[in-house]
Amino acid sequence: MTVPIVRTVAELRKTVARWHDEGLRVAVVPTMGALHEGHLSLARTALERADRVIVTLFVNPKQFNSQADLAAYPRTEDEDAAKLASLGVHLLYIPDGIEMYPEGFATTVAVNGLSEGLCGAFRPGHFEGVATVVAKLLLQTGADLAFFGEKDFQQLHVVRRMARDLDIPIEIVLCPTVRESDGLALSSRNLRLSRSQRQVAPKLAAILFEAAARIAGGAPVDATLVEARSAIAAAGYARVEYLELRAEEDLAPLRPLDRPGRMLAAAWLGETRLIDNVEVPSGPGAITRTAA
């Protein structure tokens, strides 16, 4: 089984126009490739919700604030295409750098407020790069639905706001984080972990789930965050960039927990930066999922 691949905006538009003429609902799943079960779960959900599913593969240079990170990003196009073909995805869109950013390209999409803080504070220009490329992908595909993972929670907020502000007529759909059996959130960057780092990695999720449960149960927020931060460092993470409690709905700082929250973290294991987040329910009877 194979999946058709288009590499130009013109070919992509022609295919989508034909589908729309036939009255079909079209979904897009933007990715940077090196596909794992997290990406595939987005594609499966898209296949349930739409008649035609496009997966995009583009390692977007504009969202990398480190050349080393960009150079090390895994590229596995043939394997990716085989995985998507076996799912029944209808089209792969794989533009090259010139197709996406032709000579003279001069536009940046910036989502103020939501792009600041959390990952935005440590990856300058990252969310401008994401907002710019996702705006282009949504407009190039003309899709009716777009699927994003909860693992990149701030990104999801940035994309949702951007689509709303630019009047792009598309529904942004949020999909839950897929985890390994030991709780580690799937990420292409997990491939860079050594064997011993891989053993330490799931402790981030375990500590987040435990702290979230304690806060949901009434423990003081700031003291619990301080303890959790120390626990992440003690578990073997070299550096905790941030660990914060924010409102689920708009990412505003949340004190007290008077509406549903999210605990979000980024931390380094050697040269690899991992992110994760978990929900923090509020109100009586709030129950938090566990990592297992």
Ligand X SMILES: CC(C)(CO)[C@@H](O)C(=O)[O-]
Q: Is 129 in the site for ligand ATP (CB under 6 A)?
A: no
Q: Is 30 in the site for ligand X (CB under 6 A)?
A: yes
Contacting ligand BAL within 62-121 (CB under 6 A): 63
> How many residues sit in the footprint of ligand ATP (CB under 6 A)?
18
- Torsion, Cα 206 200 230 272, to 10 degrees, reads -110
199 is in an annotated binding site: no
Q: Is 188 in the site for ligand ATP (CB under 6 A)?
A: yes
To the nearest whole angstrom, how small is the minimum distance from the Cβ of residue 214 to ligand BAL?
A: 28
Contact between 261 and 219 under an 8 Å Cβ cutoff? The reply is no
**Which of residues 80, 128, 144, 152 is near ligand ATP by CB under 6 A?**
152
Q: Is 189 in the site for ligand ATP (CB under 6 A)?
A: yes
Contacting ligand ATP within 195-234 (CB under 6 A): none
How far apart are alpha carbons 134 and 148 in whole angstroms? Answer: 11
> How many residues sit in the footprint of ligand X (CB under 6 A)?
10
How far, in Å, are 122, 157, 280 from residue 109 at the CA level? 19, 14, 31
To the nearest whole angstrom, how small is the minimum distance from the Cβ of residue 185 to ligand ATP?
A: 5
C-alpha of 8 from chain center: 24
Residue 39 known to be catalytic: yes
Q: Is 63 in the site for ligand X (CB under 6 A)?
A: yes
Q: Which residues contact 171 (CB under 8 A, 6 or more apart)?
A: 144, 145, 146
How far apart are alpha carbons 122 and 116 in whole angstroms? Answer: 9
Q: Is 114 in the site for ligand ATP (CB under 6 A)?
A: no
Residue 203: half-sphere exposure toward Cβ, Cα within 13 Å: 21
Among 20, 39, 90, 126, which one carries the catalytic annotation? 39
How far apart are alpha carbons 52 and 185 in whole angstroms? Answer: 28
Q: Which residues contact 15 (CB under 8 A, 6 or more apart)?
A: 6, 91
Q: Is 130 in the site for ligand X (CB under 6 A)?
A: yes
Interface residue list for ligand X (CB under 6 A): 30-32, 60, 63, 130, 133-134, 152, 155
Instruction: Detail the residues annotated as belonging to a binding site.
Output: 32-39, 63, 149-152, 155, 178, 186-189
Instruction: Detail the residues annotated as belonging to a binding site for (R)-pantoate.
Output: 63, 155
Active site residues: 39
